A and B are shown apart, each in its own frame.
Chain A
Amino acid sequence: MDDPIVVVGSGASGVHFALAALRKGRRVLMLDVGYTGQDAVRPSDNLNGLKRNLPDPIGYFLGKRYESLVLPGASGEYYAFPPTKEHVFRPRSEFRFAASGFSPLYSFAAGGLAEAWTGGCYPFNQRELSSFPFAYEELAPYYAKVSAHIGITGADDDMAAVFPLHGGLMEPLELDEHSAVLLNTYERHRSYLNERLGCLIGRARVATLSRDLGDRKQCSYLGRCLWGCPTQAFYTPSITLAQCRTYPEFQYVSGLYVDHFRMDTVGRVRSVVALSSDGQAREFAADSLVLAAGTLCSAKIFLESIYRESGKAPELHGVMDNRQILMPFVNLRMLGRRWNPDSYQYHQVAIAVQMQNTGQYIHGLVTTLKTALIHPLVQTLPFDLGTSASAFRNVHGALGMVNINSPDHRREENYVTLDVGSTPHRLAIHYRPESGETERLKRTISTFRKILWKLGCFAPSHTVHVRPMGASVHYAGTVPMTDKPAPLTSSKHCRSHDVENLYFADGSTFPDLPAKNLTFTLMANATRIAEEAF
């Protein structure tokens, strides 16, 4: 026990594991690449204040190299990724991959991918945890702990049927006008939507403060969410990382890419080998190793280590991700209405649909577009740009987007392995959608268009965008938790069945992937591992 617990990665899982272990008095060494972005500018300005007061607003919103400019033919997405979050997806040359049927995203940022998330916190319910080796009741206390720590807002409404009510929930944020209109319309058509379309609608659960929590102040509705909350009312894992760094037993070493671990003669992790940016290898002794680098990066470290020990590169089967559909819509009641940029910008309304023909549970998040850059959308209107810009002004307040998530399940044909034929070795990712997916997506799109129509909204079919597999970044399933020990699986406490003191604290161990953002469950599960297994 002289050596520390080594945690790889500072994302949502890593920092929650570390914090829980530190609270138990354990010594933690966190290794991370740890890219950081710029500090928040003018934290008291609202969005339009930034445009007026910054010395170079174009540089801030479009980037110094215009990297957030979306030109015709450049992208299938509707949002320009803000330059302030560019560091979240900055690559590291040592991590290479070859993918088929999958477009992977990964992060080496301090705080990980959730530095660019939209804050959705949706607990898995008992049915969704049925493949996990524990029941909802065992995870519920950790949902409550995480909620009390990060601050989650939500309401006890129809959505409680699919999002269990856990402890620590704050009262909801102020609704923007468009979201309020949608919820009022739902109230009027509730029975039709519930009974005919299997649809429930209610307040979203988001990791944004509606009242002060510790040093963090409640949301001040500056409308800057997309560009990075300047007041920390919106939770990102770097907040918890900063908290971990206040513990004397915590050591954070950034600038390091963890390549593999070494084992001793009895097959336990002995040390971790990491590369600095100049290619120098550094070795860190470990009491136990917790991989929390994200499903893909953790798989790469695991496979690389096995290959170095045995000369073999196994296949990790069952990689999963949520297929996402983006469905822009126009709320006809909101046409020609003024809109308020000083409001919360991420989703405030959630939709749950029990598909009547397939039995699938589908999850939708409704964002009412307000302060996103308009040029990516204006260019998609079927007019010249002058007419489109003029028309857009009067439909801007009526626009919205549903982000629709489908579930995924572990399937043998989807796997990751190590491509040892390349230097450095690459992570090879193979993914094939389940048969019948196209038909199911069509039915999902049709159902959501009907729901929106009932809510007074029109969703043009040609603007619906099925995102490539990998785009949701809800990766899971490569080293699944199981009650029965088997090679390349993990225990109920996410301990590897192959290496005694190796743990996976990220999505790698999830045996199933419901149609929900998994981040909240990642945080709760990582806390559970630290509290119950260490």
Chain B
Amino acid sequence: MNTAQLERECRTYTRFLIGQAPTPYVLQHYLDFHQKSDVMEAVKLDRFDQFLVGVSARGPFWARLADSYASVFRKNSTVRKKLVLTLALLECAPPSFETLDRVDGGGPLGAVIRLGWGAAQYALTLIVSFVIFTPVCLGILLSSGRRPVATVER
């Protein structure tokens, strides 16, 4: 298990999801999950899955791009699983659960405006991610057959 890579993922995903750094407690559980579970074992991933995980860990912007793409074209991808794991850890732990529970206010109108703004941003990101990642996906498929060989992380 590449601990430094996993820590980088957790830091990036937490900043992407709640705009804060993870606490050492959340970080420790992120590593612990990867030790205990083989769901996200790198040996089981195809190369594009690995690529998405690697790209998403570069920073919140890249995490958003990778996840936008995955939300439509790779719903059960590893990057999405790692993000859901991070969200689950954050919602159970202090102080991040309070951030996730906080309501912005403004009533129904404010909520609808925010939802519309979020949807517009998402649509834009999805288009950009499609332009960037589709050629990569096709390239990987064409260069290594339909089942690309995976590398071993641990």
Contact surface of A with B, Cβ cutoff 8 Å: 48, 51-52, 57-58, 60-62, 65-66, 69-73, 332-339, 341, 373-375, 378-379, 382-387, 389-391, 393-398
A282 vs chain B, min Cβ distance (A): 37
A413 vs chain B, min Cβ distance (A): 36
Q: Could you tell me which residues of chain B, from 78 to 112, have a CB within 8 Å of some CB in chain A?
A: 80-81, 83-85, 87-89, 91-94, 97-98, 100-112
B residues within 8 A CB of A378? 84, 87
Q: Are A73 and B75 in contact (CB under 8 A)?
A: yes
B107 vs chain A, min Cβ distance (A): 5
Bound-state CA distance A247–B125 (Å) is 68
Query: Which stretch, B31-39, B43-51, B142-150, touches the partner chain A?
Result: B31-39
Q: Are A385 and B103 in contact (CB under 8 A)?
A: no
Q: Is B57 an interface residue (CB 8 A)?
A: no
Q: Are A336 and B105 in contact (CB under 8 A)?
A: yes
Asked whether A335 and B71 contact (CB < 8 A) given A62-B92, A72-B81, A375-B88, the answer is no
Bound-state CA distance A338–B102 (Å) is 8
A245 vs chain B, min Cβ distance (A): 35
Q: Are B36 and A57 in contact (CB under 8 A)?
A: no
Bound-state CA distance A345–B114 (Å) is 27
A370 nearest CB neighbor, chain B only: B101
5 pairs from A and B in contact (CB 8 Å cutoff): A51-B93, A336-B106, A384-B125, A387-B121, A394-B114
Q: Are A389 and B100 in contact (CB under 8 A)?
A: yes
B71 nearest CB neighbor, chain A only: A384
Q: Are B104 and A336 in contact (CB under 8 A)?
A: yes
Asked whether A57 and B92 contact (CB < 8 A) given A66-B37, A385-B83, A389-B17, the answer is yes
Q: Are A58 and B103 in contact (CB under 8 A)?
A: no
A66 nearest CB neighbor, chain B only: B33
Q: Are A51 and B88 in contact (CB under 8 A)?
A: no
B residues within 8 A CB of A58? 25-26, 29, 89, 92-93
Bound-state CA distance A385–B111 (Å) is 17
Give B103-141 as 1s and 0s: 1 = Cβ < 8 Å from A's Cβ atoms: 111111111101100110110011000000000000000
Bound-state CA distance A387–B121 (Å) is 9
> Known contacts A51-B92, A338-B103, A391-B115; can you find 17 more A-B pairs with CB under 8 A?
A51-B93, A52-B94, A58-B26, A58-B93, A62-B88, A69-B33, A72-B75, A72-B76, A335-B111, A336-B104, A336-B107, A373-B92, A383-B122, A387-B119, A389-B17, A394-B103, A396-B101
Bound-state CA distance A333–B112 (Å) is 11
Bound-state CA distance A394–B89 (Å) is 20
A265 vs chain B, min Cβ distance (A): 57
Bound-state CA distance A48–B101 (Å) is 10
B72 nearest CB neighbor, chain A only: A382
B residues within 8 A CB of A61? 92
Chain A interface mostly: helix
Q: Are A393 and B101 in contact (CB under 8 A)?
A: yes
Q: Are A396 and B119 in contact (CB under 8 A)?
A: no
Bound-state CA distance A527–B115 (Å) is 53
A residues within 8 A CB of B17? 385-386, 389
Q: Is B8 an interface residue (CB 8 A)?
A: no
A residues within 8 A CB of B94? 51-52, 57
Q: Are B102 and A69 in contact (CB under 8 A)?
A: no
Q: Are B76 and A337 in contact (CB under 8 A)?
A: no
B residues within 8 A CB of A66? 33, 36-37
B102 nearest CB neighbor, chain A only: A393
Bound-state CA distance A36–B112 (Å) is 46
A residues within 8 A CB of B114? 390-391, 394
Bound-state CA distance A161–B41 (Å) is 56
Q: Are B87 and A336 in contact (CB under 8 A)?
A: no
Bound-state CA distance A338–B98 (Å) is 13
Q: Are A71 and B103 in contact (CB under 8 A)?
A: no
A185 vs chain B, min Cβ distance (A): 14
Asked whether A336 and B85 contact (CB < 8 A) given A375-B91, A382-B71, A385-B67, the answer is no
Q: Are A65 and B36 in contact (CB under 8 A)?
A: yes
A334 nearest CB neighbor, chain B only: B108
A residues within 8 A CB of B1? none
Q: Is B53 an interface residue (CB 8 A)?
A: no
Partner of B103, one of A65, A333, A396: A396
Q: Is B52 an interface residue (CB 8 A)?
A: no
Bound-state CA distance A378–B97 (Å) is 14
B154 vs chain A, min Cβ distance (A): 18
B87 vs chain A, min Cβ distance (A): 5
Q: Are A335 and B107 in contact (CB under 8 A)?
A: yes
Q: Are A386 and B103 in contact (CB under 8 A)?
A: no
Q: Are A387 and B104 in contact (CB under 8 A)?
A: no
Q: Are A386 and B101 in contact (CB under 8 A)?
A: no
Q: Could you tell me which residues of chain B, from 47 to 69, have a CB within 8 Å of some CB in chain A?
A: 60, 63-64, 67-68
Bound-state CA distance A384–B62 (Å) is 12
Q: Are B125 and A336 in contact (CB under 8 A)?
A: no
